[in-house]
Structure 1
Amino acid sequence: MPHAEKPIARLAGAVKRYGSLTALDGAELQVHPGELLALLGPNGAGKTTAIALLLGLVRADAGSVQLFGEDPQSIEPRRRIGVMLQHAELPPTLRVGELLRLTASYYPNPRSLQESAALAGIGDLLRRPYAKLSGGQQRRVQFALALCGRPELLFLDEPTVGMDIDARQKLWAAIRQLIDEGCAVLLTTHYLEEAEALADRVCVMSHGKVIHEGTVETLRARVAQKRIRCRTTLPAELIRDWPGIGEVRQENGRTYIVTAEAEPVVRRLLEADPQLGELEVQRAGLAEAFTELTRDADEASTNPQREAA
């Protein structure tokens, strides 16, 4: 479905080369108001370069790059964004509260110190020196710095790296709150369950190009595989020999089966094991869809004749 509103961040035919390496090869990307767009791809796919272009950190060699309809290196669009990069160097001796006050002072209408701290879950860290924090705590502080300026567009580059499960869930809740307030988010993550839980749209990159764009459901629908989970007395070796079985593993008393055709496998399970229990059938998840897409892109890049066919 086309978006009625104009994109607030846009790459159009963006090309970026570093010597003989083409990091972006005609990349097309749009972020719209109030949405979370997850940018996915293997290492070297071009995600970091795409973000660097949108942030104005580097210039494109060809194509167009716009941030709120302007040059990303202009000060006005930069005042409307928040950024949490994967690697951040912050003054180690400053206390967390001092860092927040300093960063907020760069914006025309920042959140209060208390609001930013509450959203990021760092109220108990405000008096502590940044250098004395754990890696996960530092990531939460960086998130607070990214949102303190009340941005209209938030760039989150691998935001939950180094966080435990509880901290990750709290950050997800904070991101959802920001989106509810109308903030758009461009998220890069290697945790595919994170994209599956948060994203309105997904862009998958490979070899400097966007190879898929759409909702999580659209991406999952591209993969025919189904996942079956059950309790059965049948050995994995027996099931593995059945037609159409892709993978079988047994773990903690449960059997997990991957197949393209779930119905005949389920029928055979019921016939072969009258004691079958806890049967559950699911479509392939984002991880399987992502793997299949990027594998196809890799094969096409190494075999141009296959792509042309």
Structure 2
Amino acid sequence: MRDQGKTIVITSHYLEEIQSVADRLMILQKGRFIFQGSFAQLQERYQQTQISFKTTLPLADFDRLDQVIDATYVGGRIVLSSRDSDATVRALVPKLAYISNLVIMKESLEELFITLSKREKANEATQARI
């Protein structure tokens, strides 16, 4: 249909399905579009990657790695939130002898939607105080 110049508008709360079929996204919050573009553009602008692993090293060894936003200890695993997973993984290389069960997960459309919505709410609260 795209080749014929046609557009289909789908509204849904099932973001996993939207992620698999949509070429372009428009996210509406309180009657205003807070994002317009492709899923790749949304990821590029807002995505954080979760990198988790088991290790015998202390959490403090990881919280200042390149591009790490947050480092926490959850259920026996260290979980890093990273702006750039490639840079963070490169920074982990010297510690690989002490790391096992490494898992890298990118956020889904639903998780990105929640992140974006929280940012917009925080922006609104800031604007209300000004």
Report the TM-score, using the length of structure 1 for normalisation. Answer: 0.33
**Counterpart Cα distance in 2 of 1:247 and 1:194:** 31
Note closer, same or farther for the CA distance 1:197–1:254 as it changes in structure 2 (3 Å cut).
farther
Note closer, same or farther for the CA distance 1:210–1:4 as it changes in structure 2 (3 Å cut).
farther
**Counterpart Cα distance in 2 of 1:245 and 1:303:** 22
Q: Which runs of 5+ in 1 are unaligned?
A: 7-31, 38-185
Q: Which amino acid letter does the alignment assign opposite residue 16 of structure 2?
A: E
**Counterpart Cα distance in 1 of 2:61 and 2:25:** 33
Paired residue for 1:297?
120
Q: Which has the higher contact order (CA 8 A, sep 6+)?
A: 2
Q: Give secondary structure in 1 for the equivalent of 2:94.
A: helix
Paired residue for 1:233?
55
Paired residue for 2:5?
5
Q: Give secondary structure in 2 for the equivalent of 1:289.
A: helix
Note closer, same or farther for the CA distance 1:267–1:199 as it changes in structure 2 (3 Å cut).
same
CA distances 1:74-124 after superposition (whole Å, capped 9, x unpaired) = xxxxxxxxxxxxxxxxxxxxxxxxxxxxxxxxxxxxxxxxxxxxxxxxxxx
Note closer, same or farther for the CA distance 1:300–1:238 as it changes in structure 2 (3 Å cut).
closer
Note closer, same or farther for the CA distance 1:238–1:301 as it changes in structure 2 (3 Å cut).
closer
Q: Give secondary structure in 2 for the equivalent of 1:271.
A: helix
**Structure 1 residue 187 corresponds to structure 2 residue 11:** yes
Note closer, same or farther for the CA distance 1:255–1:247 as it changes in structure 2 (3 Å cut).
closer
Q: Which runs of 5+ in 2 are unaligned?
A: none
The structure with more radius of gyration: 1
Paired residue for 1:51?
none
Q: Which amino acid letter does the alignment assign opposite residue 271 of structure 1?
A: P
- How far did 1:223 drift? 1.3
Note closer, same or farther for the CA distance 1:5–1:267 as it changes in structure 2 (3 Å cut).
closer
Paired residue for 1:276?
99
Q: Which amino acid letter does the alignment assign opposite residue 63 of structure 2?
A: W
CA distances 1:212-260 after superposition (whole Å, capped 9, x unpaired) = 1222222122115222244x3236x615862134143444x75532122
Q: Which has the higher helix share?
A: 2
Q: Give secondary structure in 2 for the equivalent of 1:222.
A: helix
* 1:225–1:261 CA contact under 8 A, matched in 2: yes
**Counterpart Cα distance in 2 of 1:289 and 1:234:** 31
Note closer, same or farther for the CA distance 1:297–1:268 as it changes in structure 2 (3 Å cut).
closer
Paired residue for 1:58?
none
Q: Give secondary structure in 1 for the equivalent of 2:43.
A: helix
* 1:222–1:289 CA contact under 8 A, matched in 2: no
Paired residue for 1:246?
70
* 1:223–1:288 CA contact under 8 A, matched in 2: no
Note closer, same or farther for the CA distance 1:208–1:283 as it changes in structure 2 (3 Å cut).
same
* 1:229–1:254 CA contact under 8 A, matched in 2: yes
**Structure 1 residue 206 corresponds to structure 2 residue 2:** no
**Counterpart Cα distance in 2 of 1:238 and 1:210:** 39
* 2:26–2:37 CA contact under 8 A, matched in 1: yes
- How far did 1:274 drift? 0.4
**Counterpart Cα distance in 1 of 2:63 and 2:126:** 32
Note closer, same or farther for the CA distance 1:277–1:204 as it changes in structure 2 (3 Å cut).
same
CA distances 1:111-153 after superposition (whole Å, capped 9, x unpaired) = xxxxxxxxxxxxxxxxxxxxxxxxxxxxxxxxxxxxxxxxxxx
Report the TM-score, using the length of structure 2 for normalisation. Answer: 0.65
Q: Give secondary structure in 1 for the equivalent of 2:46.
A: coil
